[in-house]
Structures are given as structure tokens and as C-alpha cells.
């Protein structure tokens, strides 16, 4: 069952989506299989991450992303893919990182649900 989001939230998501790059799970699979550096960031809440996440994903919750991203010491042009539950929060987060100067950021449309549906490697407790 899809979540019902508020109109104001949906408006900022759609505004962010119009300014960022997105990918879907099959494209993420291809990126994981190629030889290019890739950092995947899970921007969900800690309890969501701890319940299961893409293997190798770094957890930086959306609420602290701007504060904590530089602790990762990532090059401005490193390939970043952000995901959340469905692609809404990660779109806003990707726009924020783009505004901070990262130039190769994508949001995973479909998010965690897409990762599971694609059969990508996941960690579960």
C-alpha cells in the first residue's frame, strides 16, 4: 500500500526531482557491477537501516546528511547514489548534496522497495 504524503511534501519532492538525476534498481545493479567507484548512501532513519539495507551502503540519515557527509571525505565528483524507502526523501537529499557541490549524485527512484524487488544483495539482522 502506498503512503499518502502531504501536498507540501510532494511539492518539494517534485521540485527536487526536476533538478536531480535519478536511477532505478536495474541501473543501480549495473553500476554496482561496473568498475567505476560507487558510494551508496542510505538516507533512511537508523531503525529502517538496521532492519535491512543494501550491502555496502553507508548510513547517513537525511536529517544529518548535510552535517555529516563531509566526514566521508568523498571527492566532489565521486559517483553517489542515495536511497530511502521509495525515492522521495532521497530526491530531496540528492538536491541538497548537489547544492553543496557534489556533481555526480543520483537518487534511486523506488528506493528500498526497488532494491528488494530487483534482488540486489541486502543485509538483514
- Model pLDDT, residue 59: 98
pLDDT one-digit tens code per residue, 69-105: 999 999 999 999 999 999 999 999 999 999 999 999 9
Cα separation, 21 vs 23, whole angstroms: 7
The pLDDT mean for the chain works out to 96
Q: Is 6 part of a structural domain of the chain?
A: no
Cα separation, 111 vs 100, whole angstroms: 22
In terms of residue numbers, what domain contains 46?
Answer: 21-123
Q: Is 10 part of a structural domain of the chain?
A: no
pLDDT one-digit tens code per residue, 14-23: 999 999 999 9
Domains contained in the chain, number: 1
Residue 94 to residues 11, 118, 119, 125: CA-CA distances in angstroms?
16, 22, 24, 27
CATH number of the domain bearing residue 74: 3.40.250.10
Grid cell in block for residue 96: 541538497
Average pLDDT over residues 6-16: 96
Amino acid at each position: 500500500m502506498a503512503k499518502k504524503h502531504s501536498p507540501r511534501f510532494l511539492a518539494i519532492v517534485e521540485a527536487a526531482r526536476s533538478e536531480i538525476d535519478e536511477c532505478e534498481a536495474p541501473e543501480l545493479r549495473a553500476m554496482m557491477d561496473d568498475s567505476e567507484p560507487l558510494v551508496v548512501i542510505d538516507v533512511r532513519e537508523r531503525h529502517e537501516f538496521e532492519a535491512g539495507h543494501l550491502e555496502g551502503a553507508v548510513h547517513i540519515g537525511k536529517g544529518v546528511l548535510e552535517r555529516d557527509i563531509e566526514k566521508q571525505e568523498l571527492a566532489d565528483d565521486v559517483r553517489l547514489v542515495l536511497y530511502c524507502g521509495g525515492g522521495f526523501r532521497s530526491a530531496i537529499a540528492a538536491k541538497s548534496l548537489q547544492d553543496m557541490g557534489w556533481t555526480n549524485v543520483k537518487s534511486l527512484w523506488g528506493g528500498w522497495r526497488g532494491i528488494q524487488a530487483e534482488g540486489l544483495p541486502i543485509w538483514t539482522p
